[in-house]
Structure 1
Amino acid sequence: MLLITPLEGRVAVVTGSNKGIGYFIALQLGLSGLFQHICLACRDLQLAQEAVASLKQQLPPEVQVSSAPLLLGDTTSHHELAQTLEERYGKIDVLVNNAAMAFKQADPTPFLEQCSPTLNVNFRGTCDLTEQLLPLLRKGTDARIVNVASMSGRLGQVSPERQAQFAADDLTMEQLHALVDEFERDVLAGRHREKGWSNSNYGMSKLAVIAATKVWARREPSINVNCCCPGYCKTDMTSQKGLRDPADGAKNAVLPATMEHPPTGEFFSDYGVASW
């Protein structure tokens, strides 16, 4: 159920939103009637400008759409985005962390060389960006964070001992980063399987994002923090081989961003709260 009354001046920021799932998240948030400002935070500025023009044609004139540069995984870019949003809006009401990367299945890059780039963007980049934007979110009205994760981040991909570490109710962000660092070291040393880790760099990056969601939900009681799996969507990341339209996948992120009295620290999949 959507919030009953639109709140004038509310700001939604969607990362990685010039195409695919992120584009449709931005569109659906704009159509919800709950936001006056939609900001696309994107790496490719030309594509971002084209997306802004496209969204303006589909959204009511009172919804203002703009873009801002973001290179996820680059802490300087994170800081500059935070400054831009502070100057432009003075707050954020909803942040959707959609930007991510994945090596294609056919990519010849060795597994161990894929590890650090994947973790640096999907987990460490998402964490640093979110931490830099938290002061603006704390100023928001009915503030929310939605982290776009994946079923690839399922808890069952690691050993029972590792599951207990990631799912601990008292897990801290420092401990979570230490676990991810340990996984990275074990991959580089060629011993990650015997240490109880998954054999998927992407899966581990998204597992860590889900765990981070739960840590933030406990640590930031004034902000609803949830994550979601859009499903296997037809996007560039899946080489258009997905089973779900990206507009349908986007709904899994839009739901916790717009529903009335949302939970916090939950994982949404197939348009409802799901088990991790």
Structure 2
Amino acid sequence: MLFYNLRNLYTKPGRHNEAIENLKESGISNVVFHQLDIKDPTSIASLASFIKTRFGKLDILVNNAADLGVVIDPGPFRAFGGFNFVLDENAKAVKDVIDEPYDKAEECLKTNYYGTKRVTEAILPLLQFSNSAKIVNVSSVYGLLSYISNDKVKAQLRDIDLTIEKLDDLVQYFLKEDKLECNGWPMLISAYKISKAVVNAYTRILARKYPKFCINCVHPGYVKTDITLNTGELMPEEGARGPVMLALLPDGGPSGSYFNQTKIFSFD
């Protein structure tokens, strides 16, 4: 199984050693680490080559890319109640707490969507050698279409015949917008919400293209991690339940679906 957590392993060099030691102490010794920068095609190709040379195939890919696309003032953010308060109706109240510059939004989409897509495309040939291939895309409740009020955009994301090319066009359309509110885009952590909405759509596209695979996306819950500034309600091991369940689904299980933790849920 290939699992990567961009935020912990890429942005914090050395964290992988700590994670591996913790796993060994809990009795899990067969763990291999390989560096990955999901925004770097050379790094992605190196990982794919490593897996092919060492294992010849891959059974499970868990994509866990996470970039919020914002700059947060930690103290006031925690005082507000963390992400439980990050609703569009509270946009004015938190405008001095959460800053969303364009470069951060662009980086968010490059990481969460384009990075996920590049890794998946590089690994797909190895998954095709598996008799029981699984892809799990870690998403977010913020990727639900209810956070987007633009009916045209929602219709595109709901379209069962949506293509990757059209999805890419939609992302570029969002990045070119300069009037989020009046054009029906999310007002708070907007790039993150759009990135996860398109990851959900990408999941459905992949599931349609590879019917023999089991491909799903999952909201792990509001977890105490670096990305939530440890304001979450679940411990990491609780947040892992949904992704692990989907990674170990039996053959013939659901595919092209969105899960809220361990329960199947609507994309809306």
TM range (shorter): 0.7 to 0.9
1:215 partner letter: I
How far apart are 1:155 and its partner, in Å? 0.8
Listed one character per residue, the Cα deviations across residues 207-232 of structure 1 (whole Å, up to 9, x for unaligned) are 11111000000011121110000111
How far apart are 1:66 and its partner, in Å? 0.8
1:255 partner letter: M
* Correspondence 1:58 to 2:47: no
Gaps of 5+ in 1: 1-11, 20-40
* Correspondence 1:132 to 2:132: no
Which residue among 93, 98, 101 is the counterpart of 2:67?
Answer: 101
- Report % sequence identity: 33
Distance 1:55 1:17, change over 3 A: farther
Q: Which residue number corresponds to residue 207 of structure 1?
A: 197
Q: Distance in 1 between matches of 2:100 and 2:146?
A: 24
Q: Which residue number corresponds to residue 266 of structure 1?
A: 257
How far apart are 1:43 and its partner, in Å? 5.5
* Correspondence 1:197 to 2:185: yes
Distance 1:222 1:181, change over 3 A: same
Q: Distance in 2 between matches of 1:42 and 1:53?
A: 17
Distance 1:85 1:179, change over 3 A: same
Q: Distance in 2 between matches of 1:219 and 1:112?
A: 33
Q: Distance in 2 between matches of 1:154 and 1:115?
A: 18
Question: Retained in 2: the 8 A contact 1:217–1:224?
Answer: yes
- 1:40-119 correspondence to structure 2 within 5 Å: 42=10, 44-60=12-28, 64-102=30-68, 103-106=70-73, 110-119=100-109
Structure 1 counterpart SS, 2:240: helix
Say what the alpha-carbon RMSD is for the aligned residues: 1.9
Q: Distance in 2 between matches of 1:255 and 1:193?
A: 37
The size of the alignment, in residue pairs, is: 239
Q: Distance in 2 between matches of 1:17 and 1:113?
A: 18
Q: Distance in 2 between matches of 1:229 and 1:110?
A: 23
Question: Retained in 2: the 8 A contact 1:96–1:145?
Answer: yes
Gaps of 5+ in 2: 74-96
How far apart are 1:173 and its partner, in Å? 0.7
Distance 1:237 1:18, change over 3 A: closer
* Correspondence 1:13 to 2:9: no
Distance 1:49 1:60, change over 3 A: closer
1:230 partner letter: P
Structure 1 counterpart SS, 2:72: coil
Question: Retained in 2: the 8 A contact 1:16–1:43?
Answer: no
Listed one character per residue, the Cα deviations across residues 111-142 of structure 1 (whole Å, up to 9, x for unaligned) are 32321000000111111111111001111131
Distance 1:184 1:246, change over 3 A: same
Question: Retained in 2: the 8 A contact 1:93–1:137?
Answer: yes
Q: Give TM-score, length-normalised by structure 1.
A: 0.81
- 1:236-247 correspondence to structure 2 within 5 Å: 236-247=226-237
Q: Which residue number corresponds to residue 176 of structure 1?
A: 167
Distance 1:17 1:65, change over 3 A: farther
Q: Distance in 1 between matches of 2:146 and 2:33?
A: 38
1:191 partner letter: K
Q: Distance in 2 between matches of 1:227 and 1:73?
A: 21
Q: Distance in 1 between matches of 2:40 and 2:12?
A: 14
Distance 1:202 1:110, change over 3 A: closer
